Amino acid sequence: MAIFVNENTKVIVQGLTGGQGKYHGLRNKAYGTQVVGGVTPGKGGTDVEGIPVFNSVAEAVAATGATASFVAVPPKAAPAATLEAAQAGIGFVVCITEGIPAQDEARTFNTLKRDFASTRLLGPNCPGIISPGKCNIGITAGEIAQSPSSTGPNVGIVSRSGTLTYQALYELKQLGIGVSTCVGIGGDPVPGTSFIDCLAEFEKDPETHAIIMIGEIGGSAEEEAADFIKASVSKPMSAYIAGVTAPAGKKMGHAGAIVSGGKGTAQGKMDALRDAGVKVGLNPTEAGSLMSDIVKGLR
What is the separation of C-alpha 1 from the centre of its chain, rounded to a whole number of angstroms? 17
Three-class secondary structure of residue 67 per DSSP: coil
**Catalytic residue of the set 29, 235, 254, 269:** 254
How many angstroms separate the CA atoms of 184 and 161, rounded? 7
Instruction: Look up residue 74 and give its amino acid.
Output: P
**Cα dihedral across residues 269, 272, 274, 276: positive or negative:** negative
How many angstroms separate the CA atoms of 17 and 260, rounded? 41
37 beta partners: 12
Q: Which helix (H) or strand (E) holds 38?
A: strand 34-39
Angle at 115 between CA 229 and CA 101, to 5 degrees: 75
Per-position DSSP letters for 265-299, written without gaps between them = -HHHHHHHHHHTT-EEESSHHHHHHHHHHHHHHH-
Is 254 assigned a catalytic role? yes
What is the separation of C-alpha 23 from the centre of its chain, rounded to a whole number of angstroms? 19
Q: Helical H runs in 14-66?
A: 19-31, 57-64
Would you call 73 exposed, middle or buried from its count of C-beta atoms within 10 A (0-12, 13-18, 19+)?
A: buried
What residues are annotated to the active site?
A: 254
